[in-house]
């Protein structure tokens, strides 16, 4: 039981099929056999020679740029040229996975100026794999999050739909998209869907934007709604939830100002003993969220839900260590204030260090200490600025190649911060333990640069090169490292926590050395002085060695705890301020030089 057997596909297909042994019988587990060739589809579509997509094993940034170049070469105003080949292919699990990946790339790279023709072509491709007759095939798709990825991709692409004359409607059997212009002087806006579920008949869905919500609009905006009669059943094929989706899935893209909408679902199963519950799909965590919607009314035939449209908030600083991205106003406030103060403090720190540099670096050990401090401040300053920019990139453009680039440099500079704090820790040990061993300034600088920037660069490049070809570099909902699919976040968490452990040992050594200096003196006043000196050393070293980042372990163990996220953000979003305070302003030689 549990043994896995992998078998190649027949000659007309590429890929492989996996089987698992259950109760002494081989059961199909995943089927990645596919007949579609995405590269050849684009070659048929244009007279240009398309060679870019063959580079799937190469670096992610190059892949994205080449893929984008290939797509841009298509001569037609939309991608209808590839639709016939896709619709003529069998909707087997391997082809489903390839089509989901294709739709994801189109959404990321070709979602500008989505006109009716583009949306029709996109909907026809999606409709092919949403057909009620092939729902069971989704159970054998290799990526168990494929249905969620499809939903995110469709939402992203349809959200860019251009409205002609104030409205648009694109209808297929298993996906329907409608859009309307909305403004504050209208008396409420509604979308009505009536769609085929299987061969038993139609089911309906209704989206209503209340008039009091429309009054919040400062200008004419648009609302896009998408109905999926079969997506709920498709999501169920890879989930073990006790409940079933008893109606269509409705997705709504609204302006930021709107908060509440009413959704009416006709039930598929209209039995009296069927209990209903209103839920929303949590795309980041790939699960149904009971907090997203509340039930307003429940009858035998239908349910009315009141759903809350979450405003986009600034991503919390705790996302750097946590698998889960919590949205909370307090976290938002702490992150904004903390990063703002941190950036200002780090700029001031670098200015002060530049002013007093020649006065405080007269000995080798002080030169090395301030050299580390400047690089710590520089790395954290750039990383904090990139954190803000990456949030802006994701919230405004949703530009995939730019998001990959932002994540790469964000990963690199936060790693550089930790490796420079590690270098400072080693320097402290050198000053305490290797008193008679002298290291030259040039040797120290070369070693420090190798550790401080060389190691982070290697880790960052390996992370993007390994995970991006499988589209597992970025997480859903933010420009930061993936967790749920590839665990790319471990490429930051593991080095960071390892360095924190080493630096904690450094602090313990400092405390022991400080304590020994007054052993035997006995006087209570001297004991008090000793305790104050130890406490001061710990307070000075904690932000400079990044010990507060260790609390990130709590956000990994319990990623849904708001208290842990707030504590982590409070301790670390303000790190730049504490570096200025303890690393520069409380340094006696710095203060003497400023006078």
- Tens of pLDDT along 385-394? 999 888 777 6
Q: Do residues 439 and 305 both lie within one domain? A: no
Is 149 inside any structural domain?
no
Q: Are 143 and 238 in contact (CB under 8 A)?
A: no
Q: Do residues 393 and 282 both lie within one domain? A: no
Q: Are 141 and 29 in contact (CB under 8 A)?
A: no
Burial 255-292 (b: 16+ CB within 10 A, else e): bebbeebbbbbbbbeeeeeeebebbbbbbbbbebeeeb
Residue 310 pLDDT exceeds 50: yes
Across the range 237-242, mean pLDDT stands at: 73
Residue 522 pLDDT exceeds 60: no
Identify the CATH number of the domain in which residue 232 sits.
Answer: 2.60.220.50
Instruction: Kindly report the pTM of this predicted structure.
Output: 0.61
When divided into structural domains, the chain yields a total of: 4
Per-residue pLDDT at 291: 83
Spell out the residues 6+ positions from residue 96 whose beta carbon is closer than 8 angstroms to its own.
129, 134, 137, 138, 141, 146
User: How many other C-beta atoms can be found within 10 angstroms of the C-beta atom of residue 48?
Assistant: 14
Q: Do residues 76 and 170 both lie within one domain? A: no
Q: Are 550 and 497 in contact (CB under 8 A)?
A: yes
Q: Do residues 465 and 522 both lie within one domain? A: yes
Per-residue pLDDT at 524: 55
Per-residue pLDDT at 501: 95
Q: Worst-scoring range by mean pLDDT, 44-58, 94-108, 359-373, 482-496?
A: 44-58
Is 148 inside any structural domain?
no
Is 58 inside any structural domain?
no
Domain ends where: 79, 107, 140? 140
Is 235 inside any structural domain?
yes
Identify the CATH number of the domain in which residue 527 sits.
Answer: 1.20.1070.10
- List pLDDT tens digits, range 263-280: 999 988 888 777 889 998
Residue 66 pLDDT exceeds 50: no
Is 153 inside any structural domain?
no
Q: Are 167 and 268 in contact (CB under 8 A)?
A: no
**Residue 313 is inside which H or E element, if any?**
none
Residue 57 pLDDT exceeds 50: no
- List pLDDT tens digits, range 312-365: 445 688 889 988 777 777 888 899 899 999 999 999 999 999 999 988 888 888
- List pLDDT tens digits, range 153-204: 998 899 888 888 888 999 998 999 998 888 877 776 777 877 766 655 688 8
Q: Do residues 10 and 134 both lie within one domain? A: no
Across all residues in the chain, what is the average pLDDT?
82
Q: Number of C-alpha atoms within 13 angstroms, CB side, residue 17?
A: 17
Is 145 inside any structural domain?
no
Q: Are 118 and 160 in contact (CB under 8 A)?
A: no
Q: Do residues 344 and 442 both lie within one domain? A: yes
Provide the angle, in degrees to the nearest 10, between the axes of the packed helices 364-396 and 329-360: 150
Residue 283 pLDDT exceeds 80: no
Is 251 inside any structural domain?
yes
- List pLDDT tens digits, range 530-541: 677 777 778 788
Tracing tokens 């930061």 back to the chain, one arrives at 480
The parent domain of residue 213 ranges over: 163-324
Q: Do residues 460 and 536 both lie within one domain? A: yes
Q: Do residues 314 and 369 both lie within one domain? A: no
Of 311 and 213, which is predicted with more confidence?
Answer: 213
Domain ends where: 306, 324, 342? 324
Of 212, 172, 170, the closest CA to residue 191 belongs to: 170
Residue 237 pLDDT exceeds 90: no
Distance separating alpha carbons of residues 550 and 418, to the nearest angstrom: 12
Q: Number of C-alpha atoms within 13 angstroms, CB side, residue 529?
A: 9
Q: Do residues 92 and 215 both lie within one domain? A: no
Q: 75: which DSSP letter?
A: -
Cα-Cα end-to-end distance for the chain = 76
Per-residue pLDDT at 354: 92
Q: Are 197 and 292 in contact (CB under 8 A)?
A: no
Name the band, by pLDDT with cuts 50, 70 and 90, for residue 81.
confident
What is the β-pairing status of strands 189-198 and 201-209? Answer: antiparallel
Across the range 257-267, mean pLDDT stands at: 86
Residue 462 pLDDT exceeds 60: yes
Q: Are 325 and 319 in contact (CB under 8 A)?
A: yes
Q: What is the 3-state secondary structure (H, E, C) of 28-49?
A: EEEECCECCCHHHHHHHHCCCC
Q: Are 464 and 60 in contact (CB under 8 A)?
A: yes
Of 110 and 23, which is predicted with more confidence?
Answer: 23
Q: Do residues 23 and 41 both lie within one domain? A: no
Name the band, by pLDDT with cuts 50, 70 and 90, for residue 49.
very low
Per-residue pLDDT at 394: 60
Name the band, by pLDDT with cuts 50, 70 and 90, for residue 151.
very high
Distance of CA 149 to the CA centre of its chain: 13
Percent of the chain with pLDDT over 90: 33
Q: In what order do the strands lie in the sheet with 167-171?
A: 167-171, 176-182, 221-228, 249-253
User: What are the C-alpha distances in Å from 114 to residues 17, 31, 117?
Assistant: 37, 33, 8
Is 64 inside any structural domain?
no
Per-residue pLDDT at 39: 66
Domain ends where: 261, 295, 324? 324
Distance separating alpha carbons of residues 460 and 161, to the nearest angstrom: 36
Distance separating alpha carbons of residues 184 and 239, to the nearest angstrom: 41
| Bridge partners, 19 (sequence order) | 5, 28
Per-residue pLDDT at 402: 84
Q: 290: which DSSP letter?
A: T
- List pLDDT tens digits, range 469-490: 877 888 866 788 988 778 899 9
Q: Worst-scoring range by mean pLDDT, 159-168, 223-232, 261-270, 511-520?
A: 511-520
Across the range 82-94, mean pLDDT stands at: 90
Across the range 583-589, mean pLDDT stands at: 84
Per-residue pLDDT at 380: 96
SS3 state at 203: strand
Q: Do residues 552 and 423 both lie within one domain? A: yes
Tokens, residue 115 = 């006109």
């Amino acid at each position: 039981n549990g043994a896995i057997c992998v078998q190649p596909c027949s000659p007309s297909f590429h890929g492989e099929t996996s089987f698992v042994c259950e109760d002494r019988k081989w059961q199909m587990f995943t089927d990645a056999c596919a007949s579609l060739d995405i590269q050849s589809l684009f070659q048929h579509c244009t007279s240009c020679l398309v060679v870019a997509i063959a580079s799937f094993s190469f670096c992610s940034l190059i892949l994205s740029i080449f893929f984008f170049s290939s797509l841009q070469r298509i001569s037609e105003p939309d991608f209808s040229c590839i639709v016939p080949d896709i619709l003529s292919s069998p909707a087997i699990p391997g082809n489903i996975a390839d089509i989901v990946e294709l739709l994801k790339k189109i959404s990321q790279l070709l979602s500008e100026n989505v006109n009716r023709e583009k949306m029709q072509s996109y909907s026809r491709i999606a409709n092919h794999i949403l057909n009620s007759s092939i729902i069971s095939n989704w159970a054998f798709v290799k990526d168990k999050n494929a249905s969620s990825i499809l939903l995110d991709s469709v939402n992203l692409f349809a959200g860019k739909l251009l409205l002609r004359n104030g409205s648009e409607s694109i209808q297929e059997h298993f996906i329907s998209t409608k859009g309307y212009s909305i403004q504050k002087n209208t008396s409420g806006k509604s979308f009505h869907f009536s769609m085929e579920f299987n061969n038993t008949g139609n089911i309906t869905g209704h989206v209503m934007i209340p008039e009091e919500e429309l009054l919040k609009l400062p200008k004419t905006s648009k609302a896009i709604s998408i109905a999926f009669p079969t997506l709920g059943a498709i999501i169920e094929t890879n989930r073990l939830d006790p409940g079933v989706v008893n109606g269509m899935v409705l997705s709504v893209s609204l302006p930021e100002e709107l908060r509440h909408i009413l959704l009416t679902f006709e039930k598929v199963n209209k039995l009296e003993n069927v209990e209903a519950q209103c839920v929303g799909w949590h795309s980041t965590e790939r699960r149904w969220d009971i907090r997203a919607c509340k039930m307003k009314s429940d009858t035998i035939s239908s349910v009315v839900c009141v759903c809350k449209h979450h405003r986009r908030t600034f991503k919390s600083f705790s996302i750097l260590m946590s698998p889960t991205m919590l949205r909370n106003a307090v976290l938002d406030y702490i992150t904004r204030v903390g990063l703002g103060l941190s950036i200002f403090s780090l700029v001031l720190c670098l200015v002060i260090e530049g002013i007093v540099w020649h006065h405080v670096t007269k000995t080798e050990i002080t030169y090395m200490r301030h050299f580390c401090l400047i690089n710590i401040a520089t790395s954290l300053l750039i990383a904090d600025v990139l954190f803000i920019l990456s949030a802006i990139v994701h919230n405004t453009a949703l530009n995939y190649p730019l998001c990959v680039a932002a994540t790469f440099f964000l990963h690199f500079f936060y790693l550089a911060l930790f490796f420079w704090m590690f270098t400072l820790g080693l320097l402290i040990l050198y000053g305490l333990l290797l008193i008679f061993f002298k290291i030259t300034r040039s040797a120290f600088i070369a070693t420090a640069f190798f550790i401080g920037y060389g190691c982070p660069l290697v880790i960052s490049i390996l992370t993007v090169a390994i995970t991006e070809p499988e589209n597992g570099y970025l997480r859903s909902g933010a420009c930061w490292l993936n967790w749920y699919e590839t665990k790319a976040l471990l490429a930051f968490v593991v080095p960071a926590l390892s360095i924190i452990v080493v630096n904690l040992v450094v602090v313990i050594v400092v405390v022991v050395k400080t304590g020994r200096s007054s052993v035997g003196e006995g006087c209570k006043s001297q004991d008090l002085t000793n305790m104050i000196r130890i406490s001061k050393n710990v307070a000075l070293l904690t932000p400079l060695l990044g010990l507060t980042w260790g609390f990130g372990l709590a956000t990994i163990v319990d990623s849904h705890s708001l208290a842990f996220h707030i504590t982590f953000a409070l301790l670390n979003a303000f790190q730049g301020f504490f570096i200025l305070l303890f690393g520069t302003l409380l340094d006696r030689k710095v203060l003497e030089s400023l006078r």
